[in-house]
Amino acid sequence: MSAPLRVLHAIRSDGFSGVEQFVLRLARTQSADGHAVHVIGGDPPRMRPSLHEAGVAHTPAARTIEVLRAVRDLAGDVDVVNTHMTAADVGTVAALATRRRARRPVVVATCH
């Protein structure tokens, strides 16, 4: 296995539907595989216990501006930002726009 990655998943949501459940499963699996994972967004009461059990940090983000702020604050400590849905794409691009290219994490947009 290669070196562990520091992964940040971003979704603008306070719900717990299909996309949020996908992010939850993916984050738990990545953590179990030895990666350091943090999730932005999703319904805190439904997601946080399962994420914390797996060693995954969680930051609520029901609005795009909250995604932007969280990504901006956490981007320096991650290798990859995986966005889920358009609002998270927009918030992430805006958050990273002012970072120097060499200091930006890789961004992967997952279309659901």
pLDDT of residue 8 exceeding 90, the answer is yes
pLDDT of residue 83 exceeding 80, the answer is yes
Q: How far apart are CA 57 and CA 8, in angstroms?
A: 9
| CA proximity to 45, closest of 57, 65, 60, 32 | 60
Q: What is the pLDDT of residue 100?
A: 82
Q: What is the pLDDT of residue 1?
A: 61
Condensed to tens digits (0 to 9), the pLDDT of residues 14-44 reads 999 999 999 999 999 999 999 999 999 999 9
Which domains are present in the chain? 6-110 (3.40.50.1980)
Q: What is the pLDDT of residue 102?
A: 73
Whole-model pTM?
0.95
